[in-house]
Amino acid sequence: MVPVTRPGAPALDGPRIDRWVSAAVPWWVPRLVLFLGWVAAGAVALATDNATGGYGPDLTFAVAVVVWLATPVLLWWLPLAGCAAGVIFAVLDVLYDDVPAASVAFGIHGLLCLATMAWLVSARRRQAAVVAEVAGTVRLDEALAGRLRESLPAWGLRTVAAVLLAMAGIGGIAWYDHRAAQVAQHESAATRTEGVIRSADNSEGVVVVEVPQPVRVGVLDSYQVGQVVPVLVDGDWVRLVAEPEDVTGWLSAGLGSLVLAGLLLFREQRMRSARRRLLSGPLPAVELTADPDEHGRAVLHGGLAVLPVEAAPIRFTRPQLTGEDVDWTDGWPAEQAEDFGEDWRGDGQPDEPATVTVAGDLRDGGWVLLITDSAVLLPEAPLRTPMGRPAAPDTLPGKPLPPTDPGDLPDLPLVLRPRRRDRVLGALSLLGFAAGPALVLAGVPDGWWETIIVLWLGGVLTYQGWGRLTSRVRLTRGGIEVYDRTRVHQVPWQRLHGVRCDDKGLWLAWDPDITARVSGVAERWGAVMLRLRDLSLAAGDPGGQASARLGSGPGVVLAYVLVAAAAMWV
């Protein structure tokens, strides 16, 4: 492992931080004001478009609608790109829209987008100038920079998603070309005649035309029963002359997929080039404080900005309360384990924000890396001004147990189960094991979709019911056994970090990063667990490692799947 030594840098002081913040464009300007302007312009366009008839394929609209629909998404995701999309659509609407009110509305929205673009660019330059007044220069150690470069993945999720979207986009455009050729062939071979509307469902956009046999035709306009309309007929293919078949939706979908794929590739490439730039050469740097938020981002100076980050190649030893598998081959230092245990039991002190070196382009939309005393944090996305003060991660559920004397310890082993009403509810839920397949065999669901829903609900009831009925905690002299829906966890007392409580029961945590809720168990049993843990530690029992094995839940689920499959087959 390459050691990390955090390089020093000048601190960004309070007055400069205030100037940096005041220079930023408020988050609500592009993401709220311009979005509402987009909605208002669209409402004006719909309200003032009184044209009837003349429906049919419009290639210009098929392309422009992609830009129009992309605008609100980009305003939230990439404000500069969103403003550019708003300007482009405004120009297209002014040039090609026949509705004057719509052109005025989108023209005003385009001007607002253009003004916001200029404001964003100017604000970012002012923020960079504020940082430049005090910034020092840092350079990562060559060995560490090389290790970091080697750790970067060759392919990211954005790239994979972009490839899939590009394939979908190409497929959509190819299908549009195929369908357009089919429509053109039908229109060239069709015979024009008169048809009579025999029924009209204007709310659903469907009419039945007699030509002379009745044929269902999709429409956009409203029609009356008995109305005579000119139609084109080519065998089974029938269309109203006033409403030619429009397949440009496939073109719009294909172009939209390609645009989104391009944006994802652009963001991925920007991230990769920014990381390479940050890992080579000297960088302007300042010192700030940073905290994690509930989304795993770094929050600078209590809310100055947020930065999605990735730690590489050095992993923090702080446990993650997610239950995910983590590589702990180097072991968990006793000091770290004790610190976390104190936090879990409520004996520790709250952590102060860490001082970090922020190196790179410290401005809204800029790319920076963070250097702490134990890790280098690479950016996953550019720096962003938060919508409000980001919430601190609520990593510890419940609250510490209040000081309680457990009294005389019970005879061991002892099994703690949820309340009787929870077990009764679990037993009733298990009726879903038979109810779902029985309803299918009785023919109650109409169609395959309803059948899947009924069987899925039966499976959910079975899974939840089995968990309620069989969940328990077994206390022994050597430790605890926690039975959940899928696993049985065996935890020596030495590996138990502690016990917390909430209004539904107890929370247990054990080495290395596992937490479990034990519902319906009184607080006094938590005090008993902590007392048994203390006695085991005082006795110097080395214990062993926590382990887990599969419980009975997966077997019950598999049995239900087999029964459900048999019910569908029969």
Segment (H or E) for 509: strand 505-510
Identity of the amino acid at 400: P
> Which residue stretches of the chain have pLDDT < 50?
1-2, 311-331
* pLDDT in the model for residue 446: 80
- B/e letters for 344-382, b = 16+ CB within 10 Å, e = fewer, are bbeeeeeeeebebbbbbbbbbbbbbbbbbeebbbbbebb
- For residues 517 and 549, is the Cβ–Cβ distance under 8 A? no
Closest CA to 263 of 93, 82, 114: 82
How far is the CA of 41 from the CAs of 66, 87, 472, in angstroms? 16, 13, 59
Please say whether the beta carbons of 106 and 46 come within 8 A. no
Distance of alpha carbon 93 from the chain centroid: 34
Place of tokens 């077997």: 555
Q: Are 340 and 259 in contact (CB under 8 A)?
A: no
Query: 29: which 2 tokens?
Result: 């300007």
**Of 337, 346, 161, nearest in space to 257 by CA:** 161
Tokens, residue 474: 């077994």
Mapping DSSP to helix (H, G, I), strand (E, B) and coil, where does residue 76 land?
helix
Instruction: Output the six-digit token pair for 22.
Output: 């005041």
The reported pLDDT for the residue numbered 393 is 54
Mark 153-167 as b/e (b = at least 16 C-beta within 10 Å).
Answer: eeebebbeebeebbe
With a CB cutoff of 8 Å and minimum separation 6, the contacts of 509 are 321, 344, 496, 497, 498, 500, 515, 516
Beta bridge partners of 300: 290, 305
Contacts of 404 (CB under 8 A, 6+ apart): 523, 524, 527
Give pairs for 120-125: CB < 8 Å, separation 24+.
120/25, 120/30, 120/79, 120/80, 120/83, 120/364, 120/365, 121/80, 123/23, 123/24, 123/25, 123/364, 124/363, 124/364, 124/365, 124/366, 125/363
Contact 139, 281 (CB under 8 A): yes
Query: Strand 305-311 relative to strand 354-360: parallel, antiparallel, unpaired?
Result: unpaired
CB-count exposure of residue 485 (10 Å: 0-12, 13-18, 19+): middle
SS3 category, 482: strand
**Dist. CA 312–CA 293, nearest whole Å:** 19
Distance CA(316)–CA(512), nearest Å, equals 13
> For the residues of 18-67, what is the DSSP string, one character each?
HHHHHHSPPTHIIIIIHHHHHHHHHHHHHHH----S--S--HHHHHHHHH
CB 378 within 8 A of CB 144: no
Q: What is the pLDDT of residue 173?
A: 97
Pick from 73, 88, 89: which is nearest to 31 by CA? 73
Q: Tell me whether residue 281 is exposed, middle or buried, using C-beta atoms within 10 angstroms of its C-beta: 0 to 12, 13 to 18, 19 or more.
A: exposed
CA count, 13 A, side-chain hemisphere, 153: 12
Determine the straight-line distance between the first and last CA of the chain, rounded to whole angstroms: 60
**Token pair recorded at residue 456:** 């899925």
